[in-house]
Structure 1
Amino acid sequence: MSDQPALAPLTWAVTTGEAGMTNQAIGLAEAIGLPVVAKVIHVPKPWRWLPTHWAAPLGIKTLCGPGSDAFTPPWPEVLVTSGRRSGALSIALRRASGGRTLTVHIQNPLVPFENFDLVIAPEHDGVAAANVVQSLGALHKITPAKLAEAAERFRARFAALPRPLVAVLVGGTSGAYRLEAEDTRRLARQLADLVAARGVGLVVTPSRRTGAANAAILRETLEPLGALVWDGVGDNPYFAMLALADVLLVTEESVSMVSEACFSGKPVYTIALQGGSRRFKRFHALMRDRGYARPFTGTLEPWAPPAPLDETARCAAIVRTLLARRREALGLTP
């Protein structure tokens, strides 16, 4: 008999709190099928500056700075982490559990991959190893059930809009891209031209990155044409837009937004911004070559993607297979 405490039939989804990383970790955790507990870790200085596998031997207690959630036994059956700094906690907890917790890390951990049971890295990062699964784009927590629920809540609000209904998901300035007023004006003109030429309906949702000035340009140009431009008040129509639109336009700076749009199974066009990087160019080339997205040039073409892009479900199925093997090796019953 092992003197290790029993594992809890749970998945812990652990990040350092960034929205993008949290969405990926919780999305995968929920798709695995065990009850999910979301936790946040704040690695204190100076340990946050160390390479992940150097910080891990310090132990869980040292890695958990002020504001961190509790990390105590019983350890979970599955630990999902996302983002570099949460990787140290994964390595430390794997050791604390005697190697029994199945550890899954999302994104390139920038440390030897054998420190984890599974690494899920974006294909456009070019990461490869025996225990690495490449995902096309980003994982997320959107499901068909969530889209159906959002569609019912917003169906009446969208009903009066013309068809085809074009949903426009606008991000903004990021580390690699910039959204300037001239970009927003160009986009607004293109959308206005679509309304004039095709009679399309428009639903537009800016984000925090869009900025007040750019959001104002969109509202002032498009609302007189009958477009719905979300003002940031009340329920965000984002999920409903994915569910109810016929076509989706997405600014290119967000791998997550493009990936989520492609989950809808609708035609997706990416809106060019200023800037970019080789990493983003690889991502957009993959999405284009696999038939999931095309660049937006001001016109809409009749085409359809091969299928809804659901990398979260595919990766979760791989984790469930590994978990079944781990349970069998440990003599555990599900």
Structure 2
Amino acid sequence: MWAVSDGRAGIENQALGLAEAIARRTPAEIALRRVQLRTPWSWLPAGFTPAPRNALTLGSDSIEPPWPDIWIGCGRASIPLSMGVRRWSRGRTFVVQLQDPRVNPREFDVVAPPIHDELEGANVIPIVGACHRVTPERIDQAALDYPTPLEDFATPRLAVLIGGKSKRQDISARRAREIADALVHAQRETGGTLMATLSRRTNDAARMQLRTWLAPHCAVFYEGEGLNPYFALLGAADHVFVTADSVNMATEAAATGKPVHILAVDGDAGKLERFHQSLQRRGCARPFSSKLETWAYPPLLETDRVAAAVLTAWAARQAQK
């Protein structure tokens, strides 16, 4: 089974997360393939790359036989290859494409886009958010393995996941200060512990505000150096705060079954508003104002749902051969 992406963490983890979920259900070896398209092919729509293997950059992984039984693609660079592998393998490879590929879904065996993209089709499995690698076992073990004993921190433990710039949104310096003040207020009101991690997308101005006004109050404040505490924080947290720009982080937080508080950012939410509404309808998340609320809900297990559906569809096709 191949997980094919451009190698960016947020994209690769979706393909790898689904591959791992499938491998938990049936014995399977997982191989990562990281690919990039050369210009001008990277500028064009996915359907306009007639020979995608010849359009790869020199640094891309080889896309050659033997072909996998299951191919999971995610991200723009993977799409023309996902479309091609059905032909190259003479239909033997079962092709799953994550996100909205913006081509006809019938080019693939299964497409699993976010439900807020409103893509429809007989082989389309809309999901809330995105596939990911978060499991109870992974985050609990990460918390236990973390060099600092997170379980010793005062409760409630408040994990803070800060994103940053996206197509429509960003975090201004002013908004970063407001986020810091609100979180510090919540920590003081509850006597709990703040544990924060910043994204590569967090801009310098926001980073400076958070470093100045939030970091001094945090037991963990991660900016990209050293061991990434992301999974460990999810495992140790009693509450999770997520900036509104990130579908991936909110979906991963909702998989924990812990209260997810959405922190407003700057810009137009666009279709992400529908995503946040879907989380709220399922009881996973609420917008954070100033008061820390506690609630319970069943963990959001969309990756497992897609894995089960993929295996069912793959088995049905195998039975037809």
Q: TM-score range by the shorter chain?
A: over 0.9
Percent identical among aligned pairs is 41
What are the residue-to-residue correspondences of 1:273-292 with 2, within 5 Å?
273-292=265-284
Deviation of the 1:133 alpha carbon:
0.2
Equivalent in the alignment of 1:325: 316
Question: Helix, strand or coil for the counterpart of 2:84?
Answer: helix
Question: Helix, strand or coil for the counterpart of 2:125?
Answer: strand
Equivalent in the alignment of 2:32: 38
* TM-score, normalised by the number of residues in structure 2: 0.92
CA 191–96 in structure 1, closer or farther in 2 if over 3 Å, else same: same
Equivalent in the alignment of 1:106: 98
Q: Deviations over 1:201-228 (max 9, x none)?
A: 1111122222344334334334544643
Q: Deviations over 1:57-82 (max 9, x none)?
A: x3353233322211222111111111
Equivalent in the alignment of 1:190: 182
CA 61–218 in structure 1, closer or farther in 2 if over 3 Å, else same: closer
CA 238–61 in structure 1, closer or farther in 2 if over 3 Å, else same: closer
Deviation of the 1:163 alpha carbon:
1.0
Equivalent in the alignment of 1:75: 67
Q: Any conservation in 2 of the 1:264–1:309 contact (CA below 8 Å)? A: yes
What are the residue-to-residue correspondences of 1:59-138 with 2, within 5 Å?
59-138=51-130
Q: Deviations over 1:181-201 (max 9, x none)?
A: 111111111122223322121
Whole-angstrom distance in 2 between the partners of 1:232 and 1:176: 24
Whole-angstrom distance in 2 between the partners of 1:170 and 1:273: 10
Whole-angstrom distance in 2 between the partners of 1:213 and 1:110: 34
Whole-angstrom distance in 1 between the partners of 2:270 and 2:240: 24
CA 159–90 in structure 1, closer or farther in 2 if over 3 Å, else same: closer
Q: Any conservation in 1 of the 2:196–2:218 contact (CA below 8 Å)? A: no
Structure 2 residue corresponding to 1:21, chosen from 1, 11, 16: 11
Q: Any conservation in 2 of the 1:100–1:326 contact (CA below 8 Å)? A: no
Q: Deviations over 1:2-38 (max 9, x none)?
A: xxxxxxxxx1111122322111111111211121111
Deviation of the 1:233 alpha carbon:
2.8
CA 28–154 in structure 1, closer or farther in 2 if over 3 Å, else same: same
Structure 2 residue corresponding to 1:295, chosen from 287, 292, 298: 287
In structure 1, the gaps of 5 or more residues are: 1-10
* TM-score, normalised by the number of residues in structure 1: 0.89
Whole-angstrom distance in 1 between the partners of 2:103 and 2:280: 30
- The answer on 1:214 being equivalent to 2:206 is yes
Deviation of the 1:287 alpha carbon:
1.0
- Give the AA of the match of 1:32: I
CA 311–226 in structure 1, closer or farther in 2 if over 3 Å, else same: closer
Whole-angstrom distance in 2 between the partners of 1:142 and 1:227: 23
Whole-angstrom distance in 2 between the partners of 1:89 and 1:224: 47
Q: Any conservation in 1 of the 2:53–2:81 contact (CA below 8 Å)? A: no
CA 75–176 in structure 1, closer or farther in 2 if over 3 Å, else same: same
**Pairs aligned (count):** 317
Pick the structure with greater CA Rg: 1
Question: Helix, strand or coil for the counterpart of 1:210?
Answer: coil
Q: How much is the aligned-residue C-alpha RMSD, in angstroms?
A: 1.8
- Give the AA of the match of 2:42: R
Whole-angstrom distance in 1 between the partners of 2:176 and 2:45: 40
In structure 2, the gaps of 5 or more residues are: none
CA 132–231 in structure 1, closer or farther in 2 if over 3 Å, else same: closer
